[in-house]
């Protein structure tokens, strides 16, 4: 059996995955693009050794922050795990929709090289081409390099919505205001738990990789250490961008996958666990 637990940041995916892994004697596979990196722990809300409860976790801490790790890399790694553990129960958990889509569906990469530099086009013109190719694209209009790379990528994805593995998709959700409040408090807890020291250690090592440049919680504190913004501004930006990211996650999962959604009972999480288990056992 393969279970896939998805949903926005801060909604309880990790906790649910642990409880389900206990019940179904499963191991857990990460589907968060930031949690593949070592030393990015507090800012990514990575599961702790204590929280793991002795359960095997795969694709966590497999790369240094200086290394590149792409969707294509994840696709190969996830499929390798699934194909070599067909006799076991597996729980995939995370909020990076494209990783899950590429790994579980017939998502094919055929060419990922720069061909056309599009020097004659403005960012606005590039963005229109991006949306023409994929109306649901979340590439930012100011990320020129990524837009060019996307436009040059030749993908054979006529069947990208074909599921390759028999998988049960579980989504956790809650009221938007409740989620945003949880995200704000979560960021405060990260700061209290030592996020600033965690990021400062990376900053002092002069690590300025893609993982740092794109990771919420890391890029904002780098700007603070660079003297570009105040600490208070950095913290507020982390909260704001985390809330915006949660909104994008909802949009992605609702548009891309057939998911059974469960409203989380934060006052008694056991109720949510039981509800999910009853659905799985049907």
Element holding 19 (H helix, E strand): helix 13-24
pLDDT digits (tens, 9 = 90+) for 155-206: 555 567 889 999 999 999 999 999 999 999 999 999 999 999 999 999 999 9
- Give the count of beta carbons closer than 10 Å to the beta carbon of residue 152: 15
What is the distance between the terminal CA atoms of the chain, rounded to a whole angstrom? 13
In this model, does residue 152 exceed pLDDT 90?
no
- Whole-angstrom distance, CA of residue 159 vs CA of residue 191: 43
Cβ within 8 Å of residue 197, ≥6 positions away: none
The pTM of the full predicted model, rounded to 2 decimals, is: 0.82
**Distance between CA 259 and CA 262 in Å, rounded?**
10
In the chain, what are the domain boundaries?
A: 2-112+153-281, 113-152
Contact of 159 with 113, CB cutoff 8 Å:
no
How does residue 153 score in pLDDT terms, banded at 50, 70 and 90?
Answer: confident
Instruction: Encode pLDDT of 62-99 as tens digits.
Output: 999 999 999 999 999 999 999 999 999 999 999 999 99
Q: What is the pLDDT of residue 113?
A: 44
Contact between 140 and 248 under an 8 Å Cβ cutoff? The reply is no
The domain 2-112+153-281 is placed in CATH, from the list 3.30.1120.10, 3.40.50.150, 3.40.50.300, 3.30.420.40, at 3.40.50.300
Q: How many CA atoms lie within 13 A of 214 on its CB side?
A: 17
């Amino acid at each position: 059996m393969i279970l896939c637990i998805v949903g926005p940041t801060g909604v309880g995916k990790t906790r649910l995955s642990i409880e389900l892994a206990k019940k179904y004697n499963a191991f857990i596979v990460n589907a968060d693009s930031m949690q593949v990196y070592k030393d990015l722990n507090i800012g990514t809300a990575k599961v702790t050794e204590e929280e793991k409860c002795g359960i095997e976790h795969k694709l966590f801490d497999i790369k240094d922050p200086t290394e590149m790790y792409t969707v294509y890399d994840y696709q190969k790694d996830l499929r390798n795990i699934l194909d070599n553990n067909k006799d076991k129960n597996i729980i995939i958990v995370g909020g990076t929709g494209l990783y899950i889509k590429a790994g579980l569906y017939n998502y094919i990469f055929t060419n990922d090289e720069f061909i056309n530099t599009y020097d004659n086009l403005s960012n606005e013109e590039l963005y229109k081409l991006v949306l023409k190719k994929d109306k649901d694209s979340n590439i930012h209009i100011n990320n020129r390099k990524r837009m060019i790379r996307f436009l040059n990528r030749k993908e054979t994805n006529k069947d990208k919505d074909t599921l390759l593995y028999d998988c049960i998709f579980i989504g956790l959700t809650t009221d938007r205001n409740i989620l945003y409040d949880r995200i704000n408090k979560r960021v405060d807890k990260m700061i209290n738990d030592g996020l600033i020291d965690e990021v400062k250690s990376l900053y002092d090592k002069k690590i300025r990789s893609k993982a740092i440049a794109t990771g919420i919680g890391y890029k904002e504190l780098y700007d603070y250490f660079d003297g570009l913004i105040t600490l208070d501004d950095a913290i507020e930006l982390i909260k704001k961008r985390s809330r915006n990211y949660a909104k994008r996650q909802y949009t992605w999962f609702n548009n891309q996958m057939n998911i059974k959604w469960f409203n989380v009972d934060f006052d008694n999480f056991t109720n949510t666990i039981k509800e999910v288990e009853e659905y799985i056992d049907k």
